[in-house]
Amino acid sequence: MGSEHDPVTGSPSPPLVSVTVTYHPDLGMLAQQMGRLPEDCLKVVVDNASPPHVQIAISQLLAKFANTMLHLNRHNAGLAAALNQGVGLAVATRPGASMLLLLDQDSEPAVGSIATLLAAYERLARAGVRVGCVGPELFDPATGMTHGFHVADGWFWRRVLPGPGANEPVCCTNLNGSGTLMSVELFRELGGLDESLFIDHVDTEWSFRVLAHGRLLFGIPAARFIHHIGIGSRRIWLFGWRIWPERAPHRHRFLFRNTVTLMQRSYVPAVWKFWAGIKMLLTLHVVMIVGPQRRAQLLAMVRGALDGIRSKRRHGTPG
């Protein structure tokens, strides 16, 4: 079932549509996000089977903003499927839309960041760059650190951390899903997100598919989003200070399953596979040393890895 607020009339369609997936959202964060999006942007929210009273609250919140549309799933379809649903609704409602912004429920764009992303994309495209997606710099309020941008450098997988005031786009090998801006045409051309992954590494797989399609990814340091991850995060020292997300056991099962699944795909860069394997081992050791629910976490990781080994490559993805 679904509902729509401030429905579209016969007026000209604005170029930008956004899609946000919610599941037990923090309504304050969601309100902040909606308030930072352009007023004429069609803002589609897909709720993945939150309790009825939460869905009512989301509907009431969206009624306060212009150009919003809410779709309510009866069952949790997963992040990728819900985003695909939202994009389908958005482009059907605004067929003239040319740009698409994907958002998590726990991201808050800084003032002007959406306009900065759009301008950066346009500048790159006008310069003849085969730009696929651009994304913001993400700031984690729990640790006071930025996520940086992931770049493959030979056999090294490193984070580029632009300094204060940096404005030059960073050519990336991977972008975080929340805040990813792309053309509607590219999303359609690549067939949307991989629903078989359900949640974790949905953005990773998408990034590698975009690169395999001959397009480039860029981080835009001048665009900043506050971004909350997992059920919490902490600073840990692993050859430098890093943001380490805290996850429930079922999320580690998805993470390990999808990591192993992507390792079996030929279009995924070998450098990512190498470091992803090391990160799996580090995750196992960190959780076993400092994490809660250690037995449940261990079982979830082992089951996830076994699920990934048994997985089959999604039909229609490259190579």
Q: Same domain, yes or no, for 217 and 268?
A: no
Residues 263 and 222 in one domain: no
Neighbours of 167 (CB within 10 A): 10
Confidence grade of residue 7 (pLDDT, cut at 50, 70, 90): very low
256 in the same domain as 118: no
Full domain range(s) for residue 220: 2-227
Note whether residue 166 is domain-resident: yes
Helices (H), 22-138: 27-36, 52-62, 79-93, 113-126
Question: Of the given ranges (154-158, 163-167, 206-210, 311-315), which has the lowest mean pLDDT?
Answer: 311-315
Q: What is the pLDDT of residue 235?
A: 58
Retrieve residue 204's tokens.
Answer: 């990773």
Give percent of the chain with pLDDT exceeding 90.
75
To the nearest whole percent, how much of the chain has pLDDT over 70?
A: 87
The pLDDT of residue 2 is above 60: no
Say whether pLDDT at 226 is over 80: yes
Q: Is 239 within the bounds of a domain?
A: no
When mean pLDDT is compared across 120-124, 186-190, 228-232, the lowest value belongs to 228-232
Q: What is the rounded distance in angstroms from the CA atom of residue 217 to the CA atom of residue 220? A: 10
Give residue 238's pLDDT. 56
Q: Look at 1-5, 104-108, 242-246 and tell me which has the smallest mean pLDDT.
A: 1-5
Give the pLDDT score at 140. Answer: 85
Number of separate domains in the chain: 2
253-277 residues labelled b (16+ CB within 10 A) or e (exposed): bbbbbbbbbbbebeebbeebeebbe
Checking if the pLDDT of 24 tops 50, the result is: yes
For residue 222, pLDDT beyond 80: yes
pLDDT over threshold 90, residue 173: yes
Provide the 3-class DSSP secondary structure of residue 64.
coil
pLDDT level of residue 21 (50, 70, 90 thresholds): very high
Average pLDDT, integer, range 121-145: 93
* Pair (202, 119) in one structural domain: yes
Q: Specify whether 301 is located in the same domain as 210.
A: no
Spatial distance between the Cα atoms of 113 and 123, rounded to a whole number of angstroms: 15
Q: Has residue 295 been placed in a domain?
A: yes
**233 within a domain of the structure (yes/no):** no
Tens digit of each residue's pLDDT (9 = 90 or more) over 29-73: 999 999 999 999 999 999 999 999 999 999 999 999 999 999 999
Tokens representing residue 189 in the block: 């051309």
Hunting for tokens 């359609």 — which residue is that? Answer: 188
